[in-house]
Amino acid sequence: MQIVRYPHPVLRFKSVDVTRIDGQLRQIVAHMFELMHEARGIGLAANQVGLPFRLFVTCVGDDRDTPGVEQVYINPTLRKPKGFIDAEEGCLSLPELYGDVERSAEITVEAFDLKGERFEQRLKGLPARCVQHEYDHIEGVLFTDHVNEKTLAGFQEKLDLFIQEHLAAQETGTLPLDDAITKQIKQMVQQGKPEVELP
């Protein structure tokens, strides 16, 4: 299991609900935290590791300099947005790209934890932004969909490079073709469980 990069097809897949919390899911979550921390990120969604399920993890403080607490969000929903604020975002699936994105200043998130217990949080600031960013991921939306045209134009050279790297990996056989990836995604959805190799 590894963090996938744009334009991997799973990043545009609207994820489906997690239907079972078991030992395998707990292992996946633990490895997601490891990958997120290794990449110096503050959030990571399941589809960023190739799994089309409504799940993400975060570890974010009130600002970039404040230590965060690890949190798992399973089958999350967002509600009660309040206000708007612009701030810079990046993404582990789009490395070295940063741009301003308008988000709700405050949100309420409801989700399940790894014990299967529902919880609710009212978030603002960086935690609210992080959760909205990761929620977008499980909806198949990238932060680049929110930036203005000028910023997106500035991204184009790097986006083209990501596409070239994706195609090159497929040509060498280190990455399956998009049709095969899509088939595997749909198979996981039909089976209702992840197919993943864990270390």
- Mean pLDDT, the chain cut into blocks of 10 residues (199 residues total): 94 93 92 93 95 94 74 96 93 94 96 94 94 96 92 92 94 92 89 71
Structure confidence at residue 157 (pLDDT): 92
Handedness of CA 137, 140, 143, 146 (dihedral sign): negative
Q: Work out the number of other CB atoms within 10 angstroms of the CB of residue 147.
A: 20
Any idea which residues carry the catalytic annotation? Answer: 134
Q: What is the pTM of this model?
A: 0.90
CA proximity to 58, closest of 50, 157, 67: 67
Place of tokens 């993943």: 196
Structure confidence at residue 119 (pLDDT): 96
Asked if the peptide bond before residue 9 counts as cis, ω within 30 degrees of 0, the response is no
Structure confidence at residue 64 (pLDDT): 66
CA proximity to 132, closest of 118, 146, 119: 146
Structure confidence at residue 62 (pLDDT): 67
Structure confidence at residue 68 (pLDDT): 80
